[in-house]
Amino acid sequence: MAKRASPPLAGAMSGLRPPSKVMRLERMGCFHASPLSFMRQLTARAVRDDWQFSIADWQVDAQGVGHAVLRAQTGARTYSLVAFFHDLPDELRSDRVIATAWDATFTLFDGVPDAADLARLAANVPVQEAGRISETELTLSRANRSVRLWEKVVSALASGQQPDTGELGEVGYLMRTTAVYGSGKFGAADYETISTRAEVAAPFQAEMLTVYLIRWAVTELVQHMARARAAAQGTKAATLDPDIARGLGIGNSTGLGMAPFLMTHPKLINAWISARETALASVRAQNDPDPEAWALVLTLAQIMSAKVATWRTDHPRQQVRDAGLGDDLVRIITRLDAGVTTWDALIDWAETALTLEGQEWLVSAILEPYAAQLEEIAAEMSVPTEAHRINGQMTVGALKALIAHHYPWAVAIDWAAAEAQARVWYTSAEKLEPRLGERCEEPVEDYEQPLAPGRDIAKLHAMLPAWPEDAPVAAFALANPALRHALRRVQIIAEHPFGEIQDNTIAADMMPIDLLRAKLSFFGAQRFDPRSDRWVRICMFAGAPLPPDLSAQSECRWPYWQAPWEGA
C-alpha cells in the first residue's frame, strides 16, 4: 500500500457541496465511514497518546459465566469495562430492544472499580433498564452471541482447529450488541461531566471505547470456553488465529431508537457533516495531488471491491445498492488507473458516472491519504449543548427570507395530501424508545413528537403573511406559542445549514434506515444489512487491531484491512 501523503490541508474553505445536495435522505443513506468517523478517532488517539490496555480481572467459569474487568489507561485516567457473562438459553436470545435477558452485559466504569463497586454493578448491570447505574458509570450495554457462529467457533478451537473462515465471513462477528447507552441514561454520567477530557471530548468516544473493549472481551471469552472444553475432553485447544480475531468485529442491531437524533440535534449534525464537507472541499482544492495519494486511493478501491463482493443482505433495496457500489468500484479503479488528474475532476466525474453509493464512498476514500491532517477539522465535531435562545428582535420579513432560503423544499410539499403526513413519531411507553406509527391506522396521533420540521416550518410560513414585515418575531411567538419551536429551528439552521434533513420525515415513502445509515457512518460502522425499513445490522471495529496489538504501524486505515474471508 502506498505510504501516507501529507500535504497541508486548507483551513476554512469555500466550495462546499450545498446542503440541498448533501442533506437528502437518499444520499445520506449512502454515507460511508471516513477518517473522521468516531471509531477511527478513538483508535488514532489511542495510538497517538500511547494508551495501555490490560485485563485486570477474569472470573469466568468453564461455561463462560462470570465477570471480567478490562482496563484502558489513557495517561491521566483509567477507564474500566466491567463485563458480566451469562448462561442464556437459546429461546431467550433476541435482537429486540424489549428483550429482558442477554448473553453478556457491560458498563464502562470511570476509574478502577473496587469490590463494593463490583457488587453494586453485579446487582444492576445484568438487568439493564430494570437496574440503576451511577455517575461513576459512563455507558450501559448488552450483547448476544451469534447463534450461527458461537458454538461452532468454540467447538473448532476446542478440537485444536481454526473455525471455518467462510462461515465467519457470512456473519462477521461473534457477538452483537443490542444497545449501548450513555449520556445520562439510566443514571449514567452526563456527557457534560466528561466533555472537557481530551480523550473522550469527541462525539461518542465513551460509547466507542465500550464497544472496542467489548470486542476484546468477546475474543477472550470464546477462547476461554474453548480451553475449558478442551481440558475437559483431554485435548489441547487452538488459539484463535490473529488474522481471524482481527477480522471479526462486534455486530449491532439498531432500530428506530437512533433515528430521531438526527432531527433533535441540528447543531451537532451540522458540525459532523460540515466537517466532512470541509475536509472534502480542502482535498478538492488541491490542483496537483500527490501521485502517492492517488495510488493509495486506487489501492483502497481495489480492496473495497473485494470486500463488497463478500457482503450479504436479504433486503432488496440494499442488494441493489451493494451491486451498484460493486460496479462503481470497477469504474473508479479504471478511472484511477488511467492516471493522476485532480481530486476535483474525479468528484465531478463521479457525480454523473456513479450511483450515490459510489459517489459517497469516493468522498470518504479521497480523505484517506490526508487522515493525519484532519485532526483540526475533527476537533470541530463537538458543540456546546446550551439551548438556542430565540432572537425576538428579528423581523417577520427577515424570518420569511430565511425560510425562503433554507426551506423552499418544505414549503413546496403539499402537506394536505395524506401521503405527506402518513407517519407519526411517538415514544413507546414500555421502553421509552422512539417508534413510528401510521397516522390513519393506529391511535397514536395524540402522542406525536415534534419530529417533522418540514411540516412545522411550512405551517409557520403559511401564517407569516398576516403579520407586518417589520413586526418583531417575539410578538408572533407570543401570539403563536405552538410554533415557537419552528421559529427557533429556522434561526438555528440559518447558522447551521447542514443541520436540517431536506426531506419529509413523516412521508409515506420515507425510509428510516437512511436516517440510521447516516448516523452510523459517522460512528464508523461497516457492512450495512437492513432487516426491514426500520432496523439494520452492522459491524463495528472489524479489521481494527485488538488492544494489545494497537500501534502506529497497525492502526492506520484499519477499515481497509482484509480478513482471510475478504481476499487477503
Does residue 327 share a domain with residue 179? no
Identify residue 67 by its one-letter amino acid code.
Answer: H
Residue 3 confidence (pLDDT) above 60:
no
Looking at residue 12, its pLDDT comes to 41
- Looking at the structure, tell me whether residues 430 and 295 fall in a common domain: no
Same domain, 85 and 150: yes
Residues 62 and 153 in one domain: yes
Q: How confident is the model at residue 98 (pLDDT cuts 50, 70, 90)?
A: low
- The last residue of one of the domains, among 465, 499, 533, is 499
- Summarised one tens digit per residue, pLDDT across range 233-262 is 999 999 999 999 999 999 998 889 889 999
In a domain, 558, yes or no: no
Tell which of 207, 239, 255 closes a domain.
255
**pLDDT for 5:** 41
Q: Does 451 lie in the same domain as 319?
A: no
Confidence bin at 4 (pLDDT 50/70/90):
very low
Task: Check: CB of residue 436 under 8 Å from CB of residue 534.
Answer: yes
For residue 2, is pLDDT > 70?
A: no
Tell me, what's the pLDDT at 99? Answer: 65
> Is 60 exceeded by the pLDDT of residue 474?
yes
Domain count, the chain: 3
Same domain, 67 and 159: yes
**Amino acid identity of 510?**
M
280 and 366 Cβ atoms separated by less than 8 Å: yes
Q: Pull the grid cell for residue 525.
A: 460502522
Mean pLDDT of 285-305: 94
Residues 250 and 266 in one domain: no
Closest Cα partner for 252 from 309, 291, 285, 208?
A: 208
Mean pLDDT rounded to a whole number for the chain? 93
pLDDT for residue 322:
96
Q: Looking at the structure, do residues 344 and 280 belong to the same domain, yes or no?
A: yes
Q: Is 545 inside any structural domain?
A: no
Residue 313, domain member (yes or no): yes
Q: Which of 77-91, 92-106, 382-396 has the lowest mean pLDDT?
A: 92-106
Contacts of 211 (CB under 8 A, 6+ apart): 39, 141, 177, 180, 250, 252, 540, 541
Tell which residue, 302, 353, 351, has the closest CA to residue 328: 353
CA distances from 497 to 336, 385, 403, 492, 522 (A): 33, 17, 12, 8, 18
Give the pLDDT of residue 350. Answer: 98
Distance in angstroms (rounded) separating the CA atoms of residues 211 and 39: 9
Residue 253: the pLDDT is 87
Q: Dump pLDDT digits (tens) for 128-144.
A: 989 999 999 999 999 99
Cα separation, 43 vs 208, whole angstroms: 9
In a domain, 565, yes or no: no
Closest by CA position to 543, among listed 204, 367, 238, 304: 304
342 and 475 in a single domain? The answer is: no
Contact between 108 and 189 (Cβ < 8 Å): no
Is residue 561 domain-resident?
no
Residue 564 in any domain: the answer is no
Q: Please state the pTM of the whole predicted model.
A: 0.94
Q: Does residue 243 form part of some domain? A: yes
Q: What domain range includes position 71? A: 39-255
Cβ–Cβ under 8 Å, residues 361 and 300: no
- Closest-CA residue to 564 (of 307, 304, 244): 244
Residues 238 and 343 in one domain: no
Q: Is 126 in the same domain as 177?
A: yes
Q: Flag whether 215 is in a domain.
A: yes
Q: What percent of the chain has pLDDT over 90?
A: 86
Query: Using DSSP, how many helices (H) and how many strands (E) does the chain show?
Result: 22, 11
- For residue 141 the three cell numbers come to 450495554
Q: Are residues 59 and 159 in the same domain?
A: yes
